[in-house]
Structure 1
Amino acid sequence: MIEKVQKQLQESINVKIAALSLAEKVASASQLIIQALSHGGTAFFLGNGGSAADAQHLAAELVGRFEKNRKALRAVALTTNPSTITALANDYGYENIFLRQLQALAAPGDIVIGISTGGASPNVVKALTWAKEKGIETIAMTGENGGDLARIASLLLTAPSSHTPRIQELHITWGHIICGLIEEALCSNG
């Protein structure tokens, strides 16, 4: 059992070491969000399953606090309202649950962050496609091939792995780094 634990920890470490080469892209993603927030925009986060949890986690870090007591930042996870999600899924199909919310809430100057380990979740693809068509900046966090989101996102962060747990571990690490850079840039005076 100990060997299995060590093996999985080593795999996680190896993915993060491989991701060092993506530092510039992570900084660019941070800058896109900083730009939107500094001009009164909102950061919209979305994803399914574990990626939905990451979307909620990262939105909460911005609205609440990450490492500093500071002003609240405009961030929304489109995964948090069961009544909205189930009504939209029932009336418009599950593939439209994020799209319909963005149609109601998002505008140019905002930013949409889609999280999908395979990069092919139909509801995430539809949402980012719509955002792109409306001139809204988009960031996608995916696994190694980027899936359909590779051709849609303004900026693509591809975890160097095809193993879902390792991808998700890197996504939340990137999210924490991005939240820290946002706080540093926008909230130095509380």
Structure 2
Amino acid sequence: MNTSHTDQLKRFLEKSIEAKQALLQDQEQLGAFDRAMQAIIACYRQGGRLYIAGNGGSAADAQHLAAELVCRFGKERPALPAEAFTVDSSILTAIANDYGYEHIFSRQVEGKMQPGDLFLAITTSGNSPNILRALERCRAQGLTSILLSGHQGGRAAALADHVILAKGAETGTIQEQHIVIIHALCHTLEQTLFG
């Protein structure tokens, strides 16, 4: 066994545990999660849909969340309507080509979302231009938005209705917490709506 390799793994595990412990003790962020959950539950109870967007690893997280909601997370139940704005390559490339990459999500907010729908933005930095434009479009259309981010939430924190901030200084550590938050979101929805 190569101890330098296992030492690296141990360091990553320790950072992950420390960040999760910090989030576990942060009453402000726990309250933010609760308020965001209330908004998502209200959206679904009123017949709305959840739309999700992110870039890179956060795009994968957006798709992961949509899959858990449409399929299932932990129990048999009716499908919940959810869509990741990252999955249609024709829409993404057309918007990026004709309007610019910063518009790939805002045009979809404009074209797909209806009153009562909810937008969830995932960005570790909170400064992705396409996320900022999408949150601005939500504001313009009177749509509720949730931001799942890290650090202080960047410029996106001022644009979203609900802001949940993961702990940690590194992108990977923040992304790990985002997955935990996403899984908690799915479990909470299933228990509340179908328990």
TM-score range relative to shorter protein: over 0.9
Greater Cα radius of gyration, structure 1 or 2: 2
Q: What pairs with 1:98-113 in structure 2 (closer than 5 Å)?
A: 98-113=105-120
**Alignment length, in residue pairs?**
188
Q: What pairs with 1:123-134 in structure 2 (closer than 5 Å)?
A: 123-134=130-141
Give the letter for the 1:13 counterpart: I
Out of 136, 146, 155, which is 1:139 matched to?
146
Q: Does the residue aligned with 1:4 lie in a helix, a strand or coil?
A: helix
**Residue 5 of structure 1 pairs with residue 9 of structure 2:** yes
Unaligned runs of 5+ in 2: none
Normalising by the residue count of structure 1, what TM-score does the alignment of the two structures yield?
A: 0.96
1:44 touches 1:75 (CA, 8 Å); kept in 2?
yes
Post-superposition Cα deviations, 1:75-129, rounded to whole Å, max 9, x if no partner, equal 1100001111011110111100111111111122111000000000000110011
Once the two structures are TM-superposed, the CA of residue 24 in structure 1 deviates from its matched residue by 2.1
The residue number in structure 1 matching 2:18 is 14
Select between 151-160 and 20-29 the one with higher mean Cα deviation.
Answer: 20-29
Q: Does the residue aligned with 2:105 lie in a helix, a strand or coil?
A: helix
Out of 14, 24, 37, which is 2:31 matched to?
24
The residue number in structure 2 matching 1:70 is 77
Q: What pairs with 1:1-190 in structure 2 (closer than 5 Å)?
A: 1-20=5-24, 21=26, 22-188=29-195
| Aligned sequence identity (%) | 43
Normalising by the residue count of structure 2, what TM-score does the alignment of the two structures yield?
A: 0.94
